Structure 1
Amino acid sequence: GSEFSQQVEQEREHWEQEQEQEQRQQGGDRNNGPDREYERPRRISPRSISKERWVETMVVGDSKLVDYHGSGNVESYIFTIMNM
């Protein structure tokens, strides 16, 4: 869930910082070419972290569904379809 996405986000930001540091060591970063004066490195903007969301779904089975699958199997059939 959210702990995993936070960990992934931290790893990505760490990777970006390493990339920027590597670029500066090679004579410039992504925003400043090697011939330009050194400027303060850009600040990494915080990224949005996905939040859990809910989806409400209403499922309706009509009489033809009951006739075809039988009244004892309709619930199982509908749950199977919903899990696909």
Structure 2
Amino acid sequence: MGDCACYSNELHGDERNLVFAFLELTPACNNRCVGCSNVFADKRGPAPLNARRWIEIIEKLRPHVEFLKLTGGEPTLHPE
């Protein structure tokens, strides 16, 4: 499935606005925080999206979302 393909119906043709959107920059994390819910921190997933692609996604979401939360693993592990 391509970038954001699972949300395409929400972004194209459905005019309802979202209150929150959560974007996971990377699941990677080298910390072991006791209360962390990132159960995939040790697993390798697909390559992270580049900064240009994240900007495109955020620009698409902007008119439809009140609050945007960047989440996931340790953001400094993202290559960009």
- TM-score normalised by structure 2 residue count: 0.23
Based on CA coordinates, which of the two structures has the bigger radius of gyration? 1
- TM-score normalised by structure 1 residue count: 0.22
The structure whose residues are more often helix, as a share, is 1
- Higher relative contact order by CA 8 Å / sep ≥ 6: 1 or 2? 2
The structure whose residues are more often strand, as a share, is 2
